[in-house]
Amino acid sequence: MSKTLRVAVTGAKGKMGQEVVKMVLQEADFQLVVAIDPSSAGVDAGVLVGKEPCGVIVQADLDQALRESAADVLVDFTIPQVVMDNVRTAIRHGVRPVIGTTGMSPADIEEIDNLLKEKAIGGLIAPNFSIGAILMMKFAAQVAKYMPHVEIIEYHGDQKLDAPSGTSIKTAELIAANRQELRQGNPHEHETIDGARGGYYNGFRIHSVRLPGVFAQQEVVFGGYGQTLKIRHDSYERAGYMPGVAVAVRKVMDCTGVVYGFEHFID
């Protein structure tokens, strides 16, 4: 019989956090043991997400909650300003972090890796948990071997704090690993409006669109002589990420150090 995994969730009242709480309550091999959200402390986590009471009361203090809970995994969908403190606290208690919060720097990732290795446990940092989005990234990386001229256009709602998105940065990293740096466009081009050509990454451009009414889409456009190839992924609701989060919670138990990118957890 497989072990029941004891799961903690930070940002439980947030839109992604609520979906994570619902998923954990539904999975037979998961047990919700901690739900953290200072603005909802004292509320039953099940009631918070529109379900029956589950007996887990939302708390404000992550350190105290982890000290008392014997959690195995912490799932964090919060904001860049607090995620590092949450992760440091989790690792200090021997709890494996699964991080969906974007906007982390390379220095942050290196620090997390070092802290995890000191504790001989593993953690995951994933800009995107959608299996479809991961396949989009993998396909784009393959195409880059043969069609190196590429631009990325990513679309999110106007409340998203970081630009470009973590998904587009991860896609760009995978593309860059399969092509030599190639500065695209006319060498004499000039932006009459600053930023019109988008953000520069390894010779190609990333464009970030932020509009109300948009959820999350990304298009990777490859250009060649007489042809273009477009790879597009559209997300319509946050529940679509939850199968990937569930896979991550299970698989993070079997790794040591930081794993960057959910693609490493799918074949």
Residues ≥6 apart with Cβ < 8 Å to 256: 116, 117, 120, 121, 122
The amino acid occupying position 208 is S
Determine the Cα–Cα distance for residues 227 and 97; give it in Å rounded to an integer: 43
Exactly one of 22, 156, 170, 233 is catalytic; name it.
156
Q: Would residue 207 show up in a list of annotated catalytic residues for this protein?
A: no
Taking CA 30 as the corner, what is the angle to CA 25 and CA 35, rounded to the nearest 5 degrees? 60
Q: Would residue 190 show up in a list of annotated catalytic residues for this protein?
A: no
Exactly one of 138, 149, 160, 251 is catalytic; name it.
160
Sign of the CA dihedral running 116, 166, 10, 105: positive
Cα–Cα nearest to 248, from 165, 137, 126: 126
- Enumerate the active-site residues: 156, 160
